[in-house]
Amino acid sequence: MVYVSGAPGAVTVSLTVNGKPQTLSVAPSTTVLDLLRERLHLTGTKKGCDQGQCGACTVLIDGRRVNSCLQLAVMNDGREITTIEGLGAPGGLHPMQEAFVAHDAFQCGYCTPGQICSAVALLKEGRARTRAEIRELMSGNLCRCGAYTNIVDAVEAVMGAGASQEAAE
């Protein structure tokens, strides 16, 4: 087993970010959040508390939602990361992004990328059926503006659309 030193650039990591392979030299202490924002300039992912308490930095790693501020980049070597930029873009928004717009599910927008990544994972997990369950399973994403009611509306709308699509198929 080989130790790499703590110096900047001491270790090379290869990741797939939004479908694109990336190889970068980082320090062992570099978080996935800082790698995304500072090295790849994917600033859609937000730094809120940087302590795993607010959810603004939520991304999908191998399809699972996690707080990117608590993930060391070096430990995620070989993994696939999806950020808000990878979900959709103007002209081709993800249904969850469209629902957030339609339901006015934000005010300042700072928590929104994390909320949307989290909500996309929530639907994939399939554990929420009711508004109470959506609220409980979205509680890792704080919204200081208090847009929670509309956030739940947006998530519920996409969930309902998915359910009726399944029923039709």
Partner 1 sequence: MMNFSYARAESVGEAIAAVSGDPHARYIAGGTNLVDLMKYDVERPGRLVDITRLPLREIAATAGGGIRIGALVPNSDLAYDARVERDYPLLASAILAGASAQLRNAATTGGNLLQRTRCYYFYDVGAPCNKRAPGSGCGAIGGVNRIHAILGASESCIATHPSDMCVALAALEAVVHVAGPGGERTIAFEDFHRLPGDRPEADNTLRHGELITAVELPAPRFGPHHTYLKLRDRLSYAFALVSVAAGLELEGDTIRDARVALGGVAHKPWRVPEAETLLRGQKPSREAFGAAAERLLQGARGQGDNDFKIELARRAVVRALEQAAAATPQRQSDKSIN
Residue 87: CB minimum distance to partner 1, A: 16
Nearer to partner 1, 9 or 102 (CB): 9
| Partners of 124 in the β-ladder | none
End-to-end CA distance of the chain: 51
Nearer to partner 1, 42 or 121 (CB): 121
Cβ–Cβ < 8 Å for 144, 108: yes
Nearer to partner 1, 11 or 105 (CB): 11
3-state secondary structure of 7: coil
| Sole binder of partner 1 in the list 24, 110, 137, 148 (CB under 8 A) | 137
Among the candidate windows 37-45, 51-59, 143-151, 161-169, which touches partner 1 by CB under 8 A? 51-59
Residue 68 has φ and ψ, to the nearest 5°, of: -70, -15
| Sole binder of partner 1 in the list 125, 144, 145, 163 (CB under 8 A) | 125
| ∠ Cα 86 92 37 (to 5°) | 30
Nearer to partner 1, 11 or 154 (CB): 11
The torsion of the CA quartet 107, 113, 115, 118, rounded to 10 degrees, works out to 170
| Sole binder of partner 1 in the list 99, 116, 122, 147 (CB under 8 A) | 122
**Binding marks (x or -) toward partner 1, 80..119, rule CB under 8 A?**
--------------------------------------x-
165 is written with which tokens?
């699509």
